Amino acid sequence: MSDNGKPKFAMYWAASCGGCEIAVLNINEKILDVDANFEVVFWPVAMDAKYKDVEAMPDKSILLTLFNGGIRNEENEHLAILLRQKSQILVAFGSCATEGCIPGLANFSNTDQIYEAVYEGVSTDNPNHIRPQYNYEVPEGTLHIPAFYPALRTLDQVVDVDYYMPGCPPESHQIAAVIDLVLKVLNGEAELPPKGAVIGAGNSTVCDECGRKRHVKSITKFVRIHEVDEIDPELCLLEQGILCNGPATRSGCGARCPGVGAACIGCYGPAEGVIDYGARLMTAVASVIDSNDPDEIDAILEGIPDPAGSFYRFSMPHSLLRMAKPAWSNGNR
């Protein structure tokens, strides 16, 4: 408990887009409850704070830390370790922190390829082919920028995580619900869920919340959404040949995308107990292909031009393989 008696709250933004932060603000007036019940001690996007201030805090002095973003460089890693050490409850907040998300797609490439894209790309003017140097000697001494790691890791691959809150970003109503829960716990009106639990989401998958009609499935052709003249507003997208991640994706979002005729892309991650999101989707989709002939099957699969990208868009770093071979073989140099 702190001086003003309020429990301390922290939020940090590692390798991610910042959408999670916006999502938190999207809870509107609920944010006032946060302010009313918590003392925000560290939230770079919302208030000024220095790492050294955090380092100075006593261990476990922060009650709740919402950590969004993956671990891509030394700085992310340092803060992850630091906040773990200072916090009682560390929540992997949002898809990046829980399973890697879009930044995690970089795990398909090795550092050179990434640098190539970033520093030498068509849109980049870099005649001298300058690449970052982590230590740079100047008369005043050595300049240092955080080292870039060969692959992105999820928060729980770096430190011990108490809860997971999926979503890219987590739906605001779910955030609000979680905050309510924490407040209830503070007032002794509720119990904390068991360690390692996924909070702010459902136990089933998106289809559970999806209003579309569905039947026995048997797929003869995969099409991409722009290849369909007219999407049946009533019918399950997968049954229309559109690769929809709904069946494998944890519920909680309210099936918003399929609701408006856009296929689910899986930002809420795997359902309870699933250890490899992509594999589940892969096996499900393949199982309902309506052919027993290898060539015909391959022909049908032509309709999924980028399986790895479609199945692991959000979960690559948290998949069984975690990264494509180039990422680690490159690390070997």
Q: Pairing state of beta strands 87-93 and 135-138? A: unpaired
* Residue 33, Cβ density class (10 Å: 0-12 exposed, 13-18 middle, ≥19 buried): middle
> Under a CB-based contact definition with an 8 Å cutoff, are residues 222 and 263 in contact?
no
The nearest distance, CB 187 to another protein, in angstroms, is: 29
Our CB check for another protein shows the closer of 126 and 218 to be: 218
Q: How far apart are CA 318 and CA 252, in angstroms?
A: 20
Query: By CB under 8 A, is residue 272 in contact with another protein?
Result: yes
User: Least distance in Å: CB of 249 to another protein?
Assistant: 8
User: CB under 8 Å to 274, separation ≥6 — which residues?
Assistant: 248, 280
233 upstream amide cis, omega within 30 of 0: no
Question: In this structure, what token pair is assigned to residue 312?
Answer: 């692991």
Candidate ranges 16-24, 121-129, 174-182, 267-275; the one touching another protein (CB under 8 A): 267-275
Identify which of residues 154 and 174 has a Cβ nearer to another protein in the complex.
Answer: 154
Cβ proximity to another protein, 7 vs 258, nearer residue: 258
Extract long-range pairs of 257-265: CB within 8 Å, 24+ residues apart.
258/206, 258/210, 258/212, 259/210, 259/211, 261/231, 261/233, 261/237, 262/225, 263/225, 263/237, 264/206, 265/313, 265/314
Does the protein bind another protein through residue 58 (CB under 8 A)?
no
Task: Pick from 61, 311, 313, 314 the residue near another protein by CB under 8 A.
Answer: 311
The yes or no reply on residue 265 touching another protein (CB under 8 A) is no
Q: With respect to another protein, which residue has the nearer C-beta, 112 or 189?
A: 112
Whose Cβ is closer to another protein: residue 38's or residue 111's?
A: 111
In the shown chain, the binding pattern of residues 101 to 140 toward another protein, with x for contact by CB under 8 A and - for none, equals: -------x-xxx--x------------------x------
The contact mask relative to another protein for 68-107 (x = CB under 8 A, - = no) is ------x--x---xx-xx----------------------
Query: Using the rule CB under 8 A, which residue among 11, 79, 289, 313 binds another protein?
Result: 289
